[in-house]
Structure 1
Amino acid sequence: MKHLVFFFGLLALPALAADIEPRPGWAVHPTTKTHDALVADTIAAVKANGMAVVTQAGPTKAAAARGITIPGNRVIGVFNNDYAVRVLEQSVPAMIEAPIRLYVTENEDGTATLSYKTPSLVFAPYTEGADALPAIAAELDAKFAAIADLAVK
């Protein structure tokens, strides 16, 4: 009986996900860079493209402090005040989506991937702002693509 309890207890443990795969509405950029290098290059690319790193979060270091090893994982929130004001002029509810997040994950082979939901996908549910909000989202799509292009070089 103890063995069955142990076995079913193992089934309850969370599985670590594999590498990020492309999915609708996401931009996924695998690289040969290490996780730490891609995080640094992404932050530099954000700044070089006139945006700001508003937030950063990741469970890797906190897990390590608890004696748990997990792959590198960092969420980087990106926005700037110009876009914030413009979004708010169109839709107060849509502003909950800011900052838009970039996601840097360590792959099984030690390389890293930069991925994100496109701003057009993020702002799609908001009907306020008629054509203006989708136009802002399209501008942000181009801005985030430029950030990604620079970061993954």
Structure 2
Amino acid sequence: MIRDLIRLSRMSLQRATAVLILTGMALSEAVAVAASPLTDRPGWAVHHTTKPYAQLVRDVITATKSQGLVVVTQAGPTKAAAARGITIPGNRVIGIFNNDYAVRVLRRSTAAMIEAPIRLYVTEEDNGDATLSYKTAIHVFAPYLAEGGPELADIAAELDQHLEAIAQKAVQPAP
């Protein structure tokens, strides 16, 4: 009988632990969903808009093409979360680059190529407005400048001009 009580206690303790872990996971997901909007931070450009999320994603892609760059990747958790029954604000990372920049970066620093493609980040705010954010190319390539020299800094500066042009075109209000 004592053994049965000990076994029952262990099972109850395991169940209680499992419930606490699952509750903690659920709360952490709720906290992640309620994260605050992006704000300015060192090395970042943050452009708040009144555009809806889906429109800003489309406008970023269009503006990227107009700058002679290519959308290489797109990733975001929004649809996968919805498939799991979790609603989160729109969230998309859009990777952009082109082969000319890839070749030029590789001539300066093999290690720096890990940073390609440059990523643009579109997020949806609670009120439905969307924000475009990205790390500047000079910030992204900073760890490789000693190796890549002034030529890599020049490439980063060129990319920053493209990124700013993409941002300005993408965030402008529709006519």
Q: Same fold (TM over 0.5)?
A: yes
User: Higher helix proportion, which one?
Assistant: 2
Q: Secondary structure at the match of 1:131?
A: helix
Please tell me whether the aligned partners of residues 120 and 137 of structure 1 are also in contact (alpha carbons under 8 angstroms). yes
Which of 143, 147, 151 aligns to 1:125? It is 143
Larger radius of gyration: 2
Matched positions, count: 152
1:42 equivalent in alignment to 2:42: no
The structural deviation recorded for 1:109 is: 1.0
1:106 equivalent in alignment to 2:121: no
Normalised to the residue count of structure 2, the TM-score between the two structures is 0.82
User: What are the equivalent positions in structure 2 for 1:1-150 lying under 5 Å apart?
Assistant: 5=20, 9=24, 13-14=28-29, 15=31, 16=33, 17-126=35-144, 127-150=146-169
Structure 2: which 5+ residue stretches go unaligned? 1-12
Please tell me whether the aligned partners of residues 27 and 116 of structure 1 are also in contact (alpha carbons under 8 angstroms). yes
Whole-Å Cα distance in 2 between the matches of residues 8 and 58 of structure 1?
25
The structural deviation recorded for 1:7 is: 10
The structural deviation recorded for 1:12 is: 5.3
**Change beyond 3 A, Cα 1:8–1:46:** same
Q: Which runs of 4+ in 1 moved over 4 A?
A: none
Higher relative contact order (CA 8 A, sep 6+): 1
**Change beyond 3 A, Cα 1:48–1:101:** same
Whole-Å Cα distance in 1 between the matches of residues 111 and 148 of structure 2?
11
Whole-Å Cα distance in 2 between the matches of residues 151 and 55 of structure 1?
18
1:48-99 C-alpha deviation (Å, 9 max, x unpaired): 1100000000000011011100000000000000100000000000000000
The structural deviation recorded for 1:129 is: 1.9
Whole-Å Cα distance in 2 between the matches of residues 99 and 6 of structure 1?
37
